Structure 1
């Protein structure tokens, strides 16, 4: 497995592609980029570094911190922290950049460096290209002994993150507390192990049960919060007779909810429900990505607002949110972005919005007080996903996709990110992976049977026209 380089940084398997040499070189490249962005030759960049709970995280953070200080950067280490917490810390410290040591929902043997700009947001495409150019040429800025940077420990940003969430005008802790929620939390032994239960306590949740919240970093299951990985969590939810379960991924930028009956609320619908609630408090446009459910568009329309779609990827969604002055947005994988808090996917913000939305709904209709009942107010769409591995990535791939699309004149076509065909009752999105020779096929329809059939149809179309493995 080769080192995977994308817009958010580098990732790989520790001891294989993610070697100490690669980690140091990438850190030096980032330090050099920040020096180039400085006002003068005496500029000393300030960097915030945080990590999730993976066993390799502390060693990598220490290595990266040392490399950055030797390149003349001052480092603030916020310790074990969620991705959104590091983003908030980077902006709060008025730092010039940030580094998050996390491979998000990848298995435990993986790790990564995710890079932030001075606003605590992922680097834009221009900065990424500059960074990669420096990395490949190995032309690094290093400090002499007089200008080696400093290292400072600041491990109090969990509290600041929670304080900012509690300060949101739409959050009413007393109203949440009145519902006397009994909640199960599954943090998969990741960075949310302490902060998620503490946030729920401060939001007024009466009873909190936890599983995999010791912060060991040894994931007891596949850490991606998908239905097939949450069987034991569902069993625990039912045994403990909780109102619902809150599930986060290792770096807490994705939120999944499990209803009292063991059904998943749906990661796609976390954003839908949060947006529906938030638009009542702060009307405005919303943004998702091109592979997200049409339900968000329906909810926005109900509020007299417009939903815009961006290319897949958090940085792309944030760009469109800023262009459209959106009040809320995110990606369909449970990643909720609330600009009032910060421009980054934040499961903690999502938890607060969901608790408030559910509390208000239960207050209005006490007889129908389950999360599964709450979910029924939203339109049902069903998604299917397929992928096809390409023999190589042909230069004319987009042209071939357009040829396939031309057979469907009744569909409106979007070519921003691969190709998306919008039909009156369904859609298909076909896009190449940024990191692998793979085409991903996403479909959505009014039934799972139809969504799966649509995905199979386009899988056959692609296989008949494009060289695949």
Structure 2
């Protein structure tokens, strides 16, 4: 069992001894630390909270929400969601920040709090260190009863996220529909089941087969979308004579494709393939972390742009993209 404190949040296994695992007291302490840091940084008192489909999700979510309410924050609960959707909701609500309750690709006994700033981005290393300091000192000041925050439930953001994708000029749903694709999706018993199939339908893919579509957090296999965990998806693609297989992790911020013959397309090349398409319509600079394939650099140079490496981590990729005005960036996985 474990509790891992980092600049981007806190993650750990559910149950066990306080301070050694992600217990209810640890959830409250780190939620209070994040809220207290946020209160000292910005006057805005709105925070967005969303979660993936993990078994412990409802308990952790209630603890996070009620702690933030006790600090005087107005919480917008978007319910079952994806990490990218919560990020989008922070800017959509013009919120001070957001909390994503997910342990990403970790097994079902894990959960975590991922912390966002007002731009819907993961908080910086410097800000993360300040949150950890507040948690260590338990430097919290809760509100009196007449200044408690308000609670709002808003489950529209998955649909709004799909609308935003369809509105992107380089997404050509009419061209996709003409192909009459058949797609198999492995949703690994989490929120990919309520996001990926509706997205595909809106993109014009009517024949969608969903594996592990019950959002109960009882992951049917190791949830990390690696080839060794996707034999079932590979077999289903061949069985149904599908054109494509799609696997996501529990919070839908990792993506893996399976080709029509059941072979893996490879996470490393997903970003490269998308960048090749984007750069052919919108030339410019690109960014990926230093552990990613060199193919992105080659593609970027082919299209007349400049490639820039960043440190590992989404927050570092985003920071570098802003610095160099990149048109696309990402991590190999």
Normalising by structure 1, report the TM-score: 0.69
Matched residues in 2 for 1:62 and 1:206: separation? 37
**Deviation (angstroms), 1:251:** 0.3
**Deviation (angstroms), 1:126:** 1.7
Larger relative contact order (C-alpha < 8 A, sep ≥ 6)?
Answer: 2
Q: Counterpart in 2 of 1:242?
A: 242
Q: Counterpart in 1 of 2:185?
A: 185
Q: Deviations over 1:384-423 (max 9, x none)?
A: xxxxxxxxxxxxxxxxxxxxxxxxxxxxxxxxxxxxxxxx
Q: Counterpart in 1 of 2:100?
A: 100
Q: Counterpart in 2 of 1:284?
A: 284
Q: Counterpart in 2 of 1:432?
A: none
Matched, 1:201 2:220: no
Q: Counterpart in 2 of 1:312?
A: 312
**Deviation (angstroms), 1:117:** 0.4
Q: Counterpart in 2 of 1:267?
A: 267
**Deviation (angstroms), 1:206:** 3.1
Matched residues in 2 for 1:203 and 1:310: separation? 32
Q: Counterpart in 2 of 1:302?
A: 302
Q: Counterpart in 1 of 2:7?
A: 7
Structure 2: any 5+ residue segments left out of the alignment?
none
Q: Counterpart in 2 of 1:70?
A: 70
Structure 1: any 5+ residue segments left out of the alignment?
334-469
Q: Counterpart in 2 of 1:111?
A: 111
**Deviation (angstroms), 1:160:** 0.3
**What's the RMSD between the two structures over aligned residues?**
0.9
Q: How does 1:316-465 map to 2 (within 5 A)?
A: 316-333=316-333
Matched, 1:37 2:41: yes
**Structure possessing the higher radius of gyration over alpha carbons:** 1
Matched residues in 2 for 1:99 and 1:119: separation? 13
Matched residues in 2 for 1:236 and 1:173: separation? 25
Matched, 1:58 2:62: no
Q: Give aligned pairs, total.
A: 329
Matched residues in 2 for 1:149 and 1:186: separation? 38
Does the aligned pair in 2 maintain the 1:245–1:259 contact within 8 Å? yes
Does the aligned pair in 2 maintain the 1:183–1:208 contact within 8 Å? yes
Q: Deviations over 1:365-395 (max 9, x none)?
A: xxxxxxxxxxxxxxxxxxxxxxxxxxxxxxx
Does the aligned pair in 2 maintain the 1:248–1:255 contact within 8 Å? yes
Q: Counterpart in 2 of 1:166?
A: 166
Does the aligned pair in 1 maintain the 2:42–2:96 contact within 8 Å? no
**Deviation (angstroms), 1:214:** 2.1
**Deviation (angstroms), 1:262:** 1.2
Where 1:327 maps in the other structure, the secondary structure is strand
Where 2:218 maps in the other structure, the secondary structure is coil
Q: Counterpart in 2 of 1:252?
A: 252
Does the aligned pair in 2 maintain the 1:182–1:242 contact within 8 Å? yes
Taking a change above 3 Å as real, the CA distance of residues 38 and 206 of structure 1, as seen in their structure-2 partners, is closer
**Deviation (angstroms), 1:2:** 3.6
Does the aligned pair in 1 maintain the 2:287–2:320 contact within 8 Å? yes
Where 1:130 maps in the other structure, the secondary structure is helix
Q: Deviations over 1:235-292 (max 9, x none)?
A: 1111111011011110000110000111110000000000000011211100000000
Q: Deviations over 1:172-210 (max 9, x none)?
A: 111111111111111111111111000000001131111
Matched residues in 1 for 2:42 and 2:81: separation? 28
Matched residues in 2 for 1:29 and 1:206: separation? 46
Matched residues in 2 for 1:287 and 1:230: separation? 28
Matched residues in 2 for 1:7 and 1:260: separation? 40
Where 2:279 maps in the other structure, the secondary structure is helix
Q: Counterpart in 1 of 2:140?
A: 140
Q: How does 1:224-235 map to 2 (within 5 A)?
A: 224-235=224-235
Does the aligned pair in 2 maintain the 1:74–1:151 contact within 8 Å? yes
Does the aligned pair in 2 maintain the 1:31–1:141 contact within 8 Å? no
Matched residues in 2 for 1:188 and 1:201: separation? 19
